[in-house]
Amino acid sequence: MLQVRLFDYEHEQDLQKELNAFLAGFSSRDIIDIKYNVSAATTDKEQIYCFSAMVIYQAK
């Protein structure tokens, strides 16, 4: 059965760390696709980033 897992972080290093931890539990043939996105928004005082990924994988 195909499943998805969503990740969403403000810092790219956090996303990378969590993705690597999640992927460590799978063989490469179980991973169907990984979609990556970065978005940014600004306010009067700051710029906010959102780093996200969706992993599509074959459930065991």
Distances in whole angstroms, Cα of residue 14 to Cα of each of 3, 11, 19, 45, 51: 22, 5, 9, 23, 9
Alpha-carbon gap, residue 46 to 9, rounded angstroms: 17
**Residue 60: is its pLDDT beyond 90?**
no
Alpha-carbon gap, residue 51 to 60, rounded angstroms: 27
Listed by start position, the domains of the chain span 2-58
pLDDT tens by residue, 2-57: 999 999 999 999 999 999 999 999 999 999 999 999 999 999 999 999 999 999 99
CATH no. of 2-58: 3.30.300.100
